Amino acid sequence: MKRSTYLSLILILGSLTALGPFTIDMYLPGFPAIAEDLGVDVERVGLTLSSYFVGICVGQLLYGPLLDRFGRKKPLYIGLLLYIATSVGCVFSTTLDSLIFLRFFQAVGSCAATVAAMAMVRDLFPVHENAKVFALLMLVVGASPMVAPTVGGYVTSSIGWHSVFTILACMGALMLVACIRWLPDSFRPDTSLSLMPAPIVRNFWSVWTVPQFYTYALTGAVSFSALFTYVSGSPKVFMQVFHLSDKAYGWVFAALSVGFIGSSQVNTLLLRRFRSEQILPVALTAMAVAGIIFVAGARLDLLGLGGTIAVLTVMLCCLGFVNPNTAALCLAPFAKSAGTASALMGALQMGAGALASVFVSLFKENTAFPMALWMAIPAVISLAILMGGRRVIASRSTSQQGVI
């Protein structure tokens, strides 16, 4: 593959993967403005984020079979068109209920981009390069939390939160044009794949029962829910607890994202000497320790703004190592069913993220403790899942060798 082709594919696939995170991050600084405009509490505005996560979870399961049955591009085009239409709808939303409803279907549209991009990595690149490619995609995705909240803060303060969704609609249109023009066909549709409910469930079940899949999918999903907790809880923590302005919050959010992006790129370098299976337990152990420190410090009011930022930096850095390695290990056993596997992996991530964001929104406590608690719990649980799952994989491998 030519280097120019390689780089263009990374850019397009990375942009598709970043569409969902950008749609989440860009409107976060507008939470107080949305709450004031619609006459609700800031915590209730968080339900628009929860509905988005639920929409992505549902959409992931929908697009997986479609991508394997009809190829990658047609379902992708339909999803992007839905995303554009619902983004325009959000511009004219005047009630919280309508915004919650539209955000759900906006997510269903955007996740077509994410699922298609993940599956196309498996289609277009050798398996042994997948972790490296996912890390490169994280570099593009990482621009989202660096740029989106900062831009969103300035747009919200200058011309209002509705304009954020105008920008998102334009982004969706540009991506649709780029995909039609430059994205190659990467997969021959499997016309034998049935779209009836029973065969679809069996296909998902056949993916789920592979020990390597469920071990790393659950590890990645549970640990990644800490990121959604951070995204959901950070507007309240930084703007209400620590009294930052919407613009200052955007800059803090962007600065914290540097650790997440940087560690994913360091992961690429580490993969030259270490395997993904070696990197994961170290990153998750460090994340769990940092999470416990965060809970204790927030409960005892010992951290302050600087300490909170420091602990969050460590946890986000750890996630930068976890995400590309769990994704690569999840998809490695699959070639024919990469779309289904990618969809199921994404659905688990978004389902865990939706639950985490709902839990955070239920707490009315005006401290960083709820966010700290729901970031620490996933870190500890995901480490336990990884350790237990690896024993299952090892025992399964040993028993298969014995049969041979």
- pLDDT of residue 399 exceeding 60, the answer is no
Name the pLDDT band for 403 (thresholds 50, 70, 90). very low
Give the C-alpha distances (Å, rounded to integers) separating 170 from 16, 23, 83, 167.
Answer: 14, 12, 10, 5
Count other Cβ atoms within 10 Å, centred on residue 373: 19
Total residue length of the chain? 404
Closest CA to 223 of 280, 174, 268: 280
Q: 77 or 209: whose pLDDT is higher?
A: 77
pLDDT of residue 395: 77
Comparing 30-39, 90-99, 198-207, which segment has the lowest mean pLDDT? 198-207
Higher-pLDDT residue of 300 and 65 is 300
CB 146 within 8 A of CB 254: yes
In this model, does residue 1 exceed pLDDT 70? no
The overall average pLDDT reported for the chain is: 84
Contact 393, 209 (CB under 8 A): no
Cα(56)–Cα(110) distance, integer angstroms: 8
Taking the C-alpha atoms of residue 172 and residue 91, their distance in angstroms, rounded to an integer, is 14
CA–CA separation, 314 vs 372, rounded Å? 13
Closest CA to 195 of 80, 61, 338: 61
- Please give the Cα distance from 163 to 152 (Å, whole number): 9
Place of tokens 């325009």: 88
398, pLDDT greater than 70: no
Whether 213 and 64 have beta carbons less than 8 Å apart is answered as no
Between residues 155 and 401, which one has the greater pLDDT?
155
Predicted local confidence at residue 44, as pLDDT: 84
- In sequence order, what are the residues at sequence separation of 6 or more whose Cβ sits closer than 8 angstroms to the Cβ of residue 404? none
Give domain limits for the chain: 3-182+196-399
Which CATH superfamily, name and number, covers 3-182+196-399? MFS general substrate transporter like domains (1.20.1250.20)
How do residues 330-349 score in pLDDT, each as one tens digit? Answer: 887 776 666 678 778 877 88
**97-129: pLDDT as tens digits:** 999 999 999 999 998 898 888 788 877 787 777
Read off the pLDDT of residues 265-307 as tens digits, 9 standing for 90 and up: 788 888 888 888 899 999 999 999 999 999 999 999 898 899 9
Asked if 85 contacts 32 with a C-beta cutoff of 8 angstroms, the reply is no
Mean pLDDT confidence for 215-237:
87
